[in-house]
Structure 1
């Protein structure tokens, strides 16, 4: 299953955005209002839960300086990645696109597509909070 959000323009340079997204504790700022739990487990891992949803543990999997940050599920039960691609079209302005990639059976994909799409859209909307 592949889900992408429209790119979001952020009034920060790509280095600032990359450093923000590379620090897992900063994801608390991007989370939806209905977050039930957010806990940093170590410098590369955090877990969170939204009301009515199971806990999800995300781990920093890959970083390409100033252009890409990849988070992945810490468990192999539901393998997926959340990727942020960062571009700098102009000085002190970045464009960030988020994509979700996961392998799920058809029934699971049907059940989780809308909640994941909404979650990713909220993350994208909250990118404007970087540097505030």
Structure 2
């Protein structure tokens, strides 16, 4: 399964946007309102839970300044990645698109597609105000 968020424009350079997204503690500022738990576990790992959903641990797997930050599942039953692709269409302006990729059986895919799509859209919608 591959889900892509809409691109969002941020009035910061690609490097500033990258620096924000590469620091996992900043993801707390981007979370949806229905977050029930957020905890930084390590410099590159955090745990979060949305109401009615299981806890998910994400670990920073790759960071390529200033264009890409990849988070991946850190343990658990699901294997997936969340990639932030950052471009700089103009000086002091960046665009971010989130891409969620994972391998799930058909039943699981149907159950999580809607909530995951809404989740990544909320993350990008919250970026311009937070970065």
TM-score under structure 2 length normalisation: 0.98
| Aligned counterpart, 1:121 | 121
**Offset, 1:37:** 0.2
| Aligned counterpart, 2:22 | 22
* Structure 1 residues 1-132: aligned runs within 5 Å: 1-75=1-75, 77-131=77-131
Structure 1 unaligned residues grouped into runs of 5+ = none
Q: Secondary structure at the match of 2:66?
A: coil
**Offset, 1:76:** 5.4
Moved over 4 A (4+): none
Q: Secondary structure at the match of 1:70?
A: strand
**Offset, 1:110:** 0.2
CA distance in 2, matches of 1:16, 1:95: 12
Tell me the number of residue pairs that the alignment of Structure 1 and Structure 2 aligns: 131
Contact 1:17–1:130 under 8 Å retained in 2: no
**Offset, 1:75:** 1.2
**Offset, 1:77:** 2.0
Question: 1:35-69 deviations in whole A, cap 9, x for unaligned?
Answer: 00000000000000000000000000001110000
TM-score under structure 1 length normalisation: 0.97
